[in-house]
Amino acid sequence: MDFKKFSVEFAEEIDGQYTEYDEKTSLFIVPLPESRHQMVIAEIKEHPQSQRQVIDVTSKVCPAKKSFKYMEMLEAAKDYDHTRFIIDGEFLKAEASHFLNNVDQQIVKEMILEVAHKADEWELELTGKDIQ
C-alpha cells in the first residue's frame, strides 16, 4: 500500500484534512455530524510481540479518570467492528489495529472512521465536551 497516496485520497474522499507526520504516520481531521471533528492518527509500525507490520489507528478520547464508566464502555465495544479502548499514559484512547498483510484499503478506511466516531461519541458521553 502506498500509504501517502492512500492518506491524501482518503482525506479528500471524506472532505477531511490530512497531514503527513512521516512516511509511516498520517494525521487526519475527520469531519463528524453536528460540525464536530476528531483527530485520528494512522501509523504503520512493527508489532512489539510478533515483529510483524501493523496498521495502528488511534484517537484520544479524553484524559482518563477513575470516575469514568469503563464497564459500560467495554461492554459497548464488544459490538464494534474494529475499535477497542486503551489507556495510554494519562489518556483514554480509541484504537484499532490489524496486521498490514491481512488488510486492504477499504478496511483501513473503516478503521479510521469507526475510531473517529467512537472516540468522539465517548468523549461527549464522558465529558459533555468536544475536546479532541
Q: Quick check: helix, strand or coil at residue 52?
A: coil
Minimal CA–CA distance to 111: which of 124, 98, 122?
Answer: 98
Q: Provide the pLDDT confidence category of residue 132 given band limits of 50, 70 and 90.
A: low
* Residue 130 confidence (pLDDT) above 80: no
Tell me the three cell numbers of residue 24.
509511516
Angle of CA points 46, 75, 101, to nearest 5°: 25
Residue 131: predicted pLDDT: 65
60-89 pLDDT, tens digit per residue, is 999 999 888 888 988 999 999 999 999 999
Q: Which residues contact 11 (CB under 8 A, 6 or more apart)?
A: 17, 18, 28
Percent helix, strand and coil across the chain, each to the nearest 5: 35, 40, 30
34-50 pLDDT, tens digit per residue, is 889 999 999 999 988 88
Residue ranges per structural domain of the chain: 3-127
| Domain range 3-127, its CATH number among 2.130.10.10, 3.90.550.10, 3.30.1460.10, 3.30.1540.20 | 3.30.1460.10
Distance CA 81, CA 88 (A): 21
